[in-house]
Amino acid sequence: MYDKSIEEKWMRKWEKEKAYSFNETDKTKPVYVIDTPPPYTNGVLHMGHVSDYSFIDFIARYKRMKGFNVLYPQGWDTMGFHTEITVEKKYGKNLDEKEFLEKCEALTTDNLVKMREQMKLLGFSVDFSREYITMSREYKAKVQLSLLLMYEKGLLYIGDHAVYWCPYCKTAIAREQIEDKEEKTKLNYVRFDMEGGSAEQLTIATTRPELLHACVAVAVNPTDERYAKYIGKQVSIPLFGRKVKIIGDEDVDVSFGTGAEMVCTFGDKKDLVIYHRHKLDEIKAIDEGGHLLNAGKYTGLSIQDARSAIISDLEKEGRITKKEEILHTIKIHEDCKQPIELLHSTEWFSKTTDFVNEIKEQANKIKWIPEITKRYLMDWANYIDWDWVISRDRRFDTPLPFWICKSCGYIVGADKKSLPVNPRVDAPPVDKCPKCGGELAGEKRTCDVWIDSSITPLVIAGWPDNKELFSRAFPSDIRINATEIIRSWDFYTIYRVWALTGNIPWKNIFVHGLILGPDGRKMSKSIGNVVSPEELIKTYSADSVRMWAALSGTMQGDKALIFNDVKFAHSFINKLFNSLEFARPALSGYVPSSSDMANTDIFDKYMLSRLNSLIKQVSSAYEDLRFYDAANAIINFYWHVFCDYYLENIKYVVYGDDKARKKGVQYTLHAVVDAVLRMLAPIIPFSTAELYQSFAGKDVHAQQFPVADEHAIDKDIEEKGEYLNNIISMIRKEKTKNKLALNFELTKIIINVPEKYYTLLAENKHKLELIAKVKEIEVKVGKEEGVSIAQ
RNA sequence: GGAGGCAUAGUCUAAUGGUAGGACGGCAGAUUGACAUUCUGCAAGCCGGAGUUCGAUUCUCCGUGCCUCCACCA
Mean pLDDT, range A484-494, rounded to an integer: 84
Nucleotide nearest to A554 (CA to C1'): B13
| A558 beta carbon to strand B: under 7 Å | yes
pLDDT for residue A109 is more than 90: yes
pLDDT for residue A327 is more than 70: no
For the stretch A634-656, pLDDT in tens is 998 899 889 988 998 899 999 98
Residues 732-761 of A with CB under 7 A from strand B: 732-733, 736-737, 739, 741-743
| A571 beta carbon to strand B: under 7 Å | yes
pLDDT band at A271 (very low <50, low <70, confident <90, very high): confident
| A553 beta carbon to strand B: under 7 Å | yes
Confidence check on the interface: ipTM exceeds 0.90, yes or no: no
- Residue A736 CA and nucleotide B26 C1' are separated, in Å, by 20
Q: pTM for this one?
A: 0.85
| A379 beta carbon to strand B: under 7 Å | yes
- Which pLDDT belongs to residue A254? 67
Average pLDDT value for chain A = 85
A10 CB contacts (<8 Å, ≥6 apart)?
Answer: A123, A685, A686, A689, A690
- Which pLDDT belongs to residue A333? 76
Nucleotide nearest to A741 (CA to C1'): B30
Nucleotide nearest to A328 (CA to C1'): B73
**CA contacts within 13 A on the Cβ side of A624:** 13
Residues 576-615 of A with CB under 7 A from strand B: 578-579, 581-582
pLDDT for residue A519 is more than 70: no
- Which pLDDT belongs to residue A198? 61
A573 CB contacts (<8 Å, ≥6 apart)?
Answer: A2, A541, A543, A544, A547, A684, A687
- Which pLDDT belongs to residue A389? 79
- Residue A485 CA and nucleotide B3 C1' are separated, in Å, by 20
Residues 650-679 of A with CB under 7 A from strand B: 651, 654-655
pLDDT band at A577 (very low <50, low <70, confident <90, very high): very high
- Residue A717 CA and nucleotide B56 C1' are separated, in Å, by 36
Tell which residue, A614, A607, A596, A601, has the closest CA to residue A667: A596
Q: Which of A138-147, A253-262, A313-322, A415-424 has the least mean pLDDT? A: A253-262
- Which pLDDT belongs to residue A385? 62
- Which pLDDT belongs to residue A117? 92
Q: Which of A309-318, A469-478, A559-568, A669-678 has the least mean pLDDT? A: A559-568
Asked if A531 contacts A537 with a C-beta cutoff of 8 angstroms, the reply is: no
H/E stretch holding A342: strand A341-350
- Which pLDDT belongs to residue A790? 75
Q: Which of A438-452, A542-556, A660-674 has the least mean pLDDT? A: A542-556
- Residue A275 CA and nucleotide B69 C1' are separated, in Å, by 27
- Which pLDDT belongs to residue A181? 66
For the stretch A664-687, pLDDT in tens is 999 999 999 999 999 999 999 999
- Residue A250 CA and nucleotide B47 C1' are separated, in Å, by 40
| A125 beta carbon to strand B: under 7 Å | no
pLDDT for residue A526 is more than 60: no
| A383 beta carbon to strand B: under 7 Å | yes
Nucleotide nearest to A267 (CA to C1'): B74
pLDDT band at A196 (very low <50, low <70, confident <90, very high): low
| Contact positions of strand B to protein Cβ (< 7 A) | 4-5, 11-14, 22-25, 28-35, 37-42, 67-74
pLDDT for residue A560 is more than 90: no
User: Which amino acid makes up residue A747?
Assistant: T
pLDDT band at A40 (very low <50, low <70, confident <90, very high): confident
Mean pLDDT, range A115-132, rounded to an integer: 93
Higher pLDDT pick, A729 / A93: A729
- Which pLDDT belongs to residue A293? 83
- Which pLDDT belongs to residue A498? 94
Residues 151-190 of A with CB under 7 A from strand B: 180, 187
- Residue A347 CA and nucleotide B51 C1' are separated, in Å, by 60
| Whole-number Å distance between alpha carbons of A232 and A246 | 5
pLDDT band at A698 (very low <50, low <70, confident <90, very high): very high
pLDDT band at A175 (very low <50, low <70, confident <90, very high): low
Nucleotide B37: closest residue by CA–C1': A571
- Residue A101 CA and nucleotide B53 C1' are separated, in Å, by 73
Nucleotide B25: closest residue by CA–C1': A564
Higher pLDDT pick, A554 / A626: A626
Q: Which of A37-46, A281-290, A456-465, A702-711 has the least mean pLDDT? A: A281-290
| A244 beta carbon to strand B: under 7 Å | no
| A416 beta carbon to strand B: under 7 Å | no
Nucleotide nearest to A259 (CA to C1'): B74
- Residue A611 CA and nucleotide B14 C1' are separated, in Å, by 21
Tell which residue, A752, A603, A732, has the closest CA to residue A664: A603
For the stretch A7-21, pLDDT in tens is 999 999 999 998 899
- Residue A723 CA and nucleotide B18 C1' are separated, in Å, by 24
For the stretch A757-774, pLDDT in tens is 899 998 998 898 888 888
DSSP class of residue A302 equals: B
pLDDT for residue A277 is more than 80: no
| A204 beta carbon to strand B: under 7 Å | yes
Q: Which of A407-416, A437-446, A486-495 has the least mean pLDDT? A: A486-495
| A113 beta carbon to strand B: under 7 Å | no
A274 CB contacts (<8 Å, ≥6 apart)?
Answer: A217, A219, A247, A249, A251, A263, A280
- Residue A634 CA and nucleotide B39 C1' are separated, in Å, by 20
- Residue A775 CA and nucleotide B34 C1' are separated, in Å, by 26
For the stretch A142-155, pLDDT in tens is 999 999 999 999 99
CB atoms within 10 A of CB A17: 10
Question: How far is residue A35 from each of residues A39, A316, A720, A742, A783, measured CA to CA in Å?
Answer: 12, 64, 48, 53, 62
pLDDT for residue A527 is more than 60: no
In degrees, rounded to 5, the angle at the alpha carbon of residue A91 between the alpha carbons of residues A86 and A95 is 110
